Amino acid sequence: MASRGRLHEIDLLRIFAALSVMAYHYLFSSYADGTSAMHFPHVDVVARYGYLGVDLFFTISGFVVLLSAWDRSPRSFVVSRAVRLYPAYWIAVTLTACVSVAFSQGRFPVTLPQYLANLTMLNSLPNIENIDVVYWTLWAEIRFYAMIVVLTWIGITARRVTIFCWAWLAATFAFQAGLLPHATDLILNTQFSHYFIAGMALCLIHRYGATRQTLAIVAVSLGNAIYRGIGFADRVGLRYHTEIHRTAVVAIIVAIFAVMLTVALRLTHRLGRPWFAVLGALTYPLYLVHAHIGFIIFERLGDQVNHVLLVAATMLLMIGVAAALHYGVEQPLAPRLKRLLSRRAVQAVRK
């Protein structure tokens, strides 16, 4: 999106989503799975729902990625996504691997083949474990990008996107009904497809206004998001031997859709502030580096430092690392990588 057309309220939502996920890991899951001895009983009853920040991320992605892909060629779109994802990711993977090997005392082992596979961001395809627990979401994103590449190849129009959304929803329901082979979920990504689909429909609403078709897509996606979200919440509760209240999960999912709909309808543009973009730019590197490095800090220092101070200091440290990644890696490296990839793509076409 052009700078003058940037949706700053989306940046604010990204910030909220990233902080929610970080709170989930630091204030709930690190203790619940035994990684950390630090317990925050009066806070974790709320922080345990922070994992739904990922659901918000996926909805935002469906919205903004389609918006950014409009009128792009497949080659241009692939280059733009690679430039956006890989520079910070390569450094984050390397940093997390080094910290894990040096300081995790074997809790987070890393092998050289695992590290090299993780650098591709495609390690889930051969079922090679992620170096950091949060990287699983990148595999979901890449599969969505592959679908957008198909759309850019066909040519993106409102009608084609609408048909595409309905087709993806239909395939999702067919898979959930057991009518499709398990392998098809590699493409369909049915656990989270409804968020990407809803985001795409919301993008159409933002560009062209609400129609019965686009509102119906959002409504059906919401219904499936609630259905799958309840099942996912039950599994989270079983994993951590605690209760994840279904009512709270449903309310949060509905809130995600409601807020994103207000953005799509252009009802929130007055709330946006240009400085949101500064913090919004940090959300991706912050997401990449915060989890395992934070867990290792808690494990090594949890019995020596006040727990509240340690969590607050770790959050500030991770924000600082994210800023260093953004300004020291993403900003200087991204333009160079874009020029390199664009030149290679042109040379490939000429050959």
Express each pLDDT in 294-348 by its tens digit: 999 999 998 899 999 999 999 999 999 999 999 999 889 888 888 888 876 555 5
> What pLDDT, on the 0 to 100 scale, is given for residue 224?
98
> What pLDDT, on the 0 to 100 scale, is given for residue 1?
37
Report which of 264, 254, 265, 175 is spatially closest to residue 222, judged by C-alpha positions: 254
- Which region holds residue 34: left if phi is over 0, alpha if psi is between -120 and 50, else beta? left
> What pLDDT, on the 0 to 100 scale, is given for residue 4?
40
Tell me the mean pLDDT in the region 37-54.
94
Express each pLDDT in 161-170 by its tens digit: 999 999 999 9
**CA 285 to chain CA centroid, nearest Å:** 11
Give CA separation, 105 vs 76, 99, 102, 229, 344, in Å: 43, 10, 7, 35, 42
How far apart are the C-alpha atoms of 25 and 240, rounded to whole Å? 12
Calculate what percentage of the chain has a pLDDT beyond 90. 85
Residues shown for the chain:
351
Structure tokens of 36?
């950390």
How far apart are the C-alpha atoms of 35 and 215, rounded to whole Å? 43
How far apart are the C-alpha atoms of 5 and 206, rounded to whole Å? 12
How far apart are the C-alpha atoms of 250 and 56, rounded to whole Å? 13
**DSSP class of 144:** H
Report which of 252, 268, 260, 160 is spatially closest to residue 202, judged by C-alpha positions: 260
Which amino acid makes up residue 257? F
Which amino acid makes up residue 115? Y
Q: How many CB atoms lie within 10 A of CB 226?
A: 17
Report which of 21, 10, 341 is spatially closest to residue 29, judged by C-alpha positions: 21
pLDDT at residue 271 is higher than 90 = no
Structural Rg of the chain based on CA atoms: 20
Calculate what percentage of the chain has a pLDDT beyond 70. 96
**CA 297 to chain CA centroid, nearest Å:** 24
- Which region holds residue 171: left if phi is over 0, alpha if psi is between -120 and 50, else beta? alpha
Express each pLDDT in 204-258 by its tens digit: 999 999 999 999 999 999 999 999 999 999 999 999 999 999 999 999 999 999 9
How far apart are the C-alpha atoms of 124 and 129, rounded to whole Å? 7
> What pLDDT, on the 0 to 100 scale, is given for residue 272?
85
How far apart are the C-alpha atoms of 246 and 256, rounded to whole Å? 15
Which amino acid makes up residue 298? F
pTM of the full structure: 0.94
> What pLDDT, on the 0 to 100 scale, is given for residue 2?
34
